[in-house]
Amino acid sequence: MRPVTDVERSLIESANLGSRQQITDEDLQFDRCHIWHPYTSIVSPTPVAAVVAAQGVYLRLRDGSELVDGMSSWWAAIHGYNHPVLNAAVEDQLRSMSHVMFGGLTHKPGIALCQRLVAMTPPPLQTVFLADSGSVAVEVAIKMALQYWQAQGQPQRQRLMSLRGGYHGDTMGAMALCDPEQGMHSLFRAVLPSHVFAPVPDCRFDSDWEESCIQPFEALVRQHGDELAAVVLEPIVQGAGGMRFYSPHYLRRVASLCREWGILLIADEIATGFGRTGKMFACEHAGVVPDIMTLGKALTGGYMTLAATLCTQAVSRGLSEQYPLMHGPTFMGNPLACSVACASIDLLVAGGWQGQVKRLEEGLRRGLMPCAGLAAVADVRVLGAIGVVELKQAVDMHQIQPRLVAEGVWVRPFGKLIYLMPAYIMSDEDLSRLCAGVRRVVQELSGA
């Protein structure tokens, strides 16, 4: 590298915002008036906590307090924050190149990541599209399915089928697959395609299988089978649409109906992938191999935005017969993101994640099940490293968020759901602190 000039040196010093500068009250005032946070109103913003550092499973706030993080930054930071191996991967890659376009160029981090993804997913999934966020990975999956049927001379197959209670992202195509009532359909109805929705699967993960559970889905397939390009679903765990865990039998039946009717199966593993449910991918609970799979969230261990859409050779070759795959984001295959993703996957595989997730599952059961009898609570459920306390009423975020922070835990409820998805490295002590904080707040809501 060439020597640094004086002007550059002063810019370098002022660019180091994290360690050198304090978040002032004026900064927070600016934040309230000028910055969108997820799903917020500029007129009545929900409170935000100012975080100055993240280490392991702790978030340090501006006032010096430390919170035990129960969210892993929305399923992503599975190894905890500021991890030496992930840091080294980014720093190393930074020294050779932070980004180059993927159009017409390729690079080792991109190749190495796709090699890992092809090796760790079911054998039929052989081709990888590196997208820049989960929603985009879902858009790419939709395009793959639609292009595939056009190339196969079945252009009437242009509708999709999904499950109520699902969540697949916020961009237009992905949004059209989210639950049509809780989702944002009503606001954007005029421009959203109308897809086919089966009811929420009402068979719990470990309950006895009842044939009636699949019948509404089956009836819809019989009605619409010839116009369906693909069924899109979150395997086993419906995440942001309701945190429900459904029976592997249901998924198996969906897969066999898809096969029978020649419909592609798209498994959105963006939330469930990389061990969260106790299997590396949630499809494995049912022994099902989808035609297309989307990955995101934990892909980079929570370090950077990156997602992937994998498909079988039948789909990739089939769709390429007519047109190239019509997608190509500017930051596709970002080398920094790809190298940290490689490191995160290596860490996962080396770290005995099955044991960690099993331990967290037991700890979440111990810590959350006592909520089950409380007046405010409708249901408590745990699967893998996911714990959910479902309340009878929706929470008031203005009230509950500061209470949870006061308990020393970072948990972000939505609607009626208080849910935990800790980093796999969380110790038993921190997990019981986290659960105790949630229990105290739920007890308060119950008037206990």
Q: Which chain residues interact with ligand PLP by CB under 6 A?
A: 133-135, 138, 167-169, 234, 239-240, 268, 270-271, 296-297
Q: What's the order of all strands across the beta sheet hosting 51-55?
A: 51-55, 58-61, 66-69, 409-410
**Cβ 286 vs Cβ 278: under 8 Å:** no
User: Which residues are designated catalytic?
Assistant: 39, 167, 268, 297
Closer Cβ to ligand PLP, 168 or 244, answer by number: 168
Q: State the residue for tokens 């019989």.
A: 222
Closer Cβ to ligand PLP, 234 or 430, answer by number: 234
How far apart are CB 84 and ligand PLP at their closest, in Å? Answer: 26
Tokens of 196: 């086919």
Closer Cβ to ligand PLP, 268 or 407, answer by number: 268
How far apart are CB 377 and ligand PLP at their closest, in Å? Answer: 24
Closer Cβ to ligand PLP, 276 or 439, answer by number: 276
**Cβ 137 vs Cβ 294: under 8 Å:** yes
How far apart are CB 236 and ligand PLP at their closest, in Å? Answer: 11
Q: In a 10 Å sphere around its CB, with 0-12 CB exposed, 13-18 middle and 19+ buried, how is residue 130 labelled? A: buried
How far apart are CB 407 and ligand PLP at their closest, in Å? Answer: 26
How far apart are CB 296 and ligand PLP at their closest, in Å? Answer: 5
How far apart are CB 133 and ligand PLP at their closest, in Å? Answer: 4
Tokens of 383: 């699967």
**Cβ 171 vs Cβ 131: under 8 Å:** no
Closer Cβ to ligand PLP, 157 or 168, answer by number: 168
H helical segments located in 76-225: 84-96, 108-120, 134-151, 172-175, 185-188, 215-224
Gap between the Cα atoms of 266 and 293, Å rounded: 6
Residue nearest to ligand PLP (CB): 134
**DSSP state letters, 32-72:** HHH---TT--SSSPPP---EEEEEBTEEEETTS-EEEESSH
Gap between the Cα atoms of 337 and 343, Å rounded: 10
Tokens of 313: 């050779």
C-alpha separations of 269 from 23, 72, 237, 335 in Å? 36, 17, 9, 22
Closer Cβ to ligand PLP, 165 or 296, answer by number: 296
Gap between the Cα atoms of 107 and 101, Å rounded: 10
Closer Cβ to ligand PLP, 163 or 357, answer by number: 163
Q: State the residue for tokens 């190894």.
A: 79
User: Which residues are paired to 307 by β-bridges?
Assistant: 131
How far apart are CB 240 and ligand PLP at their closest, in Å? Answer: 5
